[in-house]
Amino acid sequence: MKKRIIKTSITIFFLFITLVFLIGLNKSSIYDTKDLVGKQLKNIELDNFNENKILRESDLKKNDFLLINFWASWCGPCRREHPTLLKLNRINNLTILGVNFKDKKENAKKFLNELGNPYDILAKDELGKDSVYFGIYGIPESILVDKDLTVIKKFVGPISKNEFNYIVKTVEK
C-alpha cells in the first residue's frame, strides 16, 4: 500500500514538473505591450514643440480618439510610416499627437516640411525621459487612446496596413 502511494506521488510530482516546464517553455519571452491595454495615461506633461508651453491631459482630450506617435527625423522606419499618418490625419474623430523623440528641432522641421505634417498637436521629448511615462522603448511607436486617455492599443514599429485598418475601424465605429 505504502509503495503504491510513493509510486503514485512520484509520478504525479514528475507529471506536474513536466507540465510546468511545458507551459513555461512554450510561453513567449519577447516583450509584449498587451499589459498596457486598458491602462489610463496619467500626469502627462510634454513640452510643446513650437511654443514654450507644457501640454497636459486637458490639451489632449479634444477628440474622441487620440493617436500618440513617437517619431524622429533620424529614424528610417518613421519616414516609411509617414504616409500612413498623413492618411490617418483625414479621419475626423481622431487627433494625432506627434512626439518628436531625441531629435534636433531644425531637422524635425525639415522632415515635416519635406514629407508633410500629419500632426494636430506637436510635442518634443529631447532627452527621451517623457516617453518612458508612455512605456516607449524605441521609435516609431504609437498609442491609440480614447477620450479618457485609456490605452486601446499600442503599435510597436511603423503602423502596418492591418493596424491602419484597425485604427480606422475603431475610430469610425
Chain contacts with another protein (rule: CB under 8 A) = 2, 6, 9-10, 13, 17, 20, 31-33, 35-36, 39, 102, 127-129, 131-135, 137-138
Minimum CB–partner distance for residue 22 and another protein (Å): 13
Q: What angle do CA 61, 67, 72 make, to 5 degrees?
A: 120
Residue with smaller CB distance to another protein, 32 or 64: 32
Residue with smaller CB distance to another protein, 89 or 128: 128
Which amino acid is residue 118, in one-letter code? P
Minimum CB–partner distance for residue 48 and another protein (Å): 21
Q: Which helix H or strand E contains 21, and what residues bound it?
A: helix 2-26
Spatial distance between the Cα atoms of 70 and 150, rounded to a whole number of angstroms? 17
CB-count burial class (<10 Å; 0-12, 13-18, 19+) for 170: middle
Residue with smaller CB distance to another protein, 23 or 90: 23
Residue with smaller CB distance to another protein, 40 or 50: 40
Q: Angle, to 10 degrees, between the axis of helix 161-171 and the axis of helix 76-88?
A: 30
Minimum CB–partner distance for residue 15 and another protein (Å): 13
Q: Single out the residue of 20, 21, 116, 120 nearest to residue 66, CA to CA.
A: 120
Residue 130 CB coordination number (10 Å): 20
Minimum CB–partner distance for residue 139 and another protein (Å): 10
Residue with smaller CB distance to another protein, 143 or 167: 143
Minimum CB–partner distance for residue 31 and another protein (Å): 5
Task: Give 40's DSSP letter.
Answer: B
